[in-house]
Amino acid sequence: MNTVRAGLALAAAALAPALLVATPAFAATPPGTPLASKAVASDADNAAAIARILANPASGKAVKREANKALNGTPANRTAFLATGYAKAQDEDNSVAIFRILADPASGKAVKREANKALNGTPANRTAFLKTGRRLAQAEDDRVAVARILARPGISDALRAAANKAIDGTPEELRYFITIGQYQV
């Protein structure tokens, strides 16, 4: 039986790059979405799906840990991982990422506020924070920082013009101004 599992694992690992290109990425499935609903028909298909998850560089430690347990376990373990375990492990990785953001001294008030909301919310809240919420909260913090620059007495006309342009810009333009642009003016 162990040789069958080893053979399956080797086949899945060998096919993973081709399968990643040929099929939709399971990693793009939002946490909470049962992967079993993707009509995974056999244990070999389940093993291949788990191999794709393991091959994804975006998979975090908890996802890799649980995927390896499932891959080395029984067919029922693989089915359970794809049905619910993957989403739970992804949520654990998301929570760890948010805790790291909170521990970063550079995180501003809005980022910390939104991170705490996400941690106290649902798995979907945590996913949304990491995908878009952090960026928007960072933009809020950056706008406050630009407003502080504009409120300083005696700033140069060039810095004032650049700050006014940045404050009306995109989140990326704000971030650039705060981290680099203000020092170039």
Mean of pLDDT values over 88-117: 97
Mean of pLDDT values over 116-142: 97
Q: Within 10 A of 118 (CB to CB), how many other CB atoms are there?
A: 25
Residue 155 has a pLDDT of: 94
Q: Within 10 A of 69 (CB to CB), how many other CB atoms are there?
A: 15
Of 12-21, 49-58, 74-83, the poorest mean pLDDT is in 12-21
- Binned at pLDDT 50, 70 and 90, residue 85 comes out as very high
Q: Residue 141: pLDDT above 50?
A: yes
Q: Residue 91: pLDDT above 50?
A: yes
**Could you tell me the CA-to-CA distances from 24 to 18, 20, 61, 63, 117 in Å, in that order?**
12, 7, 22, 18, 31
Q: Residue 21: pLDDT above 90?
A: no
